[in-house]
Structure formats: structure tokens, C-alpha cells
Chain A
Amino acid sequence: MNLYNLLKPECINLSLSARKKKDVLLELMGCIRKDKDSDLLVSTLLKREELGSTGIGKGVAIPHGRSLVADKLEVVVGRSDAGVEFNAIDKQPVHLFFLIVAPPQDPGNQYLITLGRVAVICQELLKSKLYEKPQTPEEFIALVKEIEDGL
């Protein structure tokens, strides 16, 4: 399974403006849903965050959740130059987000596989802050592809 196949330019925001947890989740969700359902999904994502932040440290967060509102697995990427207070495990601001939303029942457990894959790719993107280099969503996808081809 390759992550770059799941990435779409319209679901990559390389200049997030939000600075707070709820706002950034709304901004990320805005890439896939612009209706009132996105609010409901954000509420679910926030409940997940209350269990423990999905900010896994070193400036990366992987918020995730399941909902019938999602008809297929979606991955949204967000980058914030200023950083977002996300209550990450290392208490540092988050600069790179991978939001994963999946339907409750997905064939082959793609949700879990994608989560694992994102975590691996994030480790590579953090090396020399590679994630800061792409200037466009297409460049970001190309970078992820390059990383995956080299794995």
C-alpha cells in the first residue's frame, strides 16, 4: 500500500492559518467536507484527542477517526509554519498534520494500515525537515512518492 496514491492536491494545505487544536481540525476537515457534518466529525476527533493527543512529537500529529460521514478513507495533509498548540506528547507545537478519516467498516482494514504507513513516512519527512521543502501540493505528493520508492 502506498500513501501517495491516497493523497490528492486538493487535500493538502501547506499554509494552515489556524493556531489552535479545534480550529486546525476544522481547517483540515474543510478540505474534504464543507458542510455541517464536518463539525460533527471534528467533535469526534476532539473526543479522540481527549484520550491522549495524537501529536506524537517532533512537530507531527496524526488525528484520526471513523464516521459514516466519510464514504471512503481520506487523508488530509496540513503544514503550519507558525506551529499549532496541539498538546503533543513533547509539548512542542505541531507543524505537520496527517488527518485520517475512514468509514466504520473498510475492506482490508485500510484505516489501520494507513495509520501505520503515515507514521513511517512522517519519520522520513522529519529527516532534515524534508516536509518544509515542497512549495505546492503536487511537490508534496512527489516527495512522499520519492520516499516510498526508496523504502
Chain B
Amino acid sequence: MSEEIRCLLELQHLDYMIKDWRNTEMRREFKKIGFQTAEDPVEMLLKKREELVKKISPVLYQMYQRIISRYNDWAIVPVLNGFCGGCFSKVPTELSGQRGAVHNCPNCGRFIYWD
């Protein structure tokens, strides 16, 4: 897995976490369970996000944001048995020969990576 893909995946994981911590029901349950957190976990996560974004090229980051706002779910997905993990369409086999590079699914445009 290339460093760029890894950073994009980390960004996506961070975005899931931010989404969870913005969810009031989730925060209430976390508190009930007994998890103690920083005063403002969302702000803390946003700072981490800023740091991570600095490691990603502006072009890739813009693409990431565009994909997220388009689909509102995930921007980077694994290729599973030759199919895009986002839209489930067949990924051309010639792309799997360049696994180290950053690719987008030709059908949905999401970033794809091979496990």
C-alpha cells in the first residue's frame, strides 16, 4: 500500500470518528458507558485532521473532498475480487498491475486500493 493511499485511508477513518463524535446519541451512550474524553473531542479530531491533510497532495485532497460530498459515504474503497468496493463494478485488470499507484474506479470515481 502506498503512503498516499495509507494517508487517504487514515483521513477516511478520522472522518468516520468525527461523524460519530458529532452524533449526540452516540456521545450520550459513550458517556453512559463511562468513556471519559477530552473536553471537545471533535475539535481535537479536527486538529488531527488538519495535520494529516498536510501530508496529502492538494490535488488528491480536493478529489477526496469532491468524492465524499458526492457520495456522502466513503471516498476510498478496497478492490474485492476484482470489483470496486464502492459501486461493485468490475475494475479493469490492467489497473491491478499498478497497485502501488493511486487509482480511481473508472465507474464511480472513488479511490481504489488492493488489499
Contact = CB atoms under 8 A, between A and B. Distances in A.
Interface of A is mostly: mixed
A104 B17 CA distance: 9
Nearest to B45: A51
A68 B74 contact: yes
B52 to A, nearest CB: 10
Interface of B is mostly: helix
Given A35-B115, A37-B115, A112-B25, A57 B17 contact: no
Nearest to B16: A66
Contacts, number: 75
- In this complex, which of A48, A51, A89 has the most chain B Cβ atoms within 10 angstroms of its Cβ? A51
B33 A52 contact: no
Interface residues of A, number: 28
Interface of B: 1, 6, 9-10, 12-14, 16-17, 20-21, 25-26, 29-30, 32-38, 41, 44-45, 48, 73-74, 76-78, 85, 115
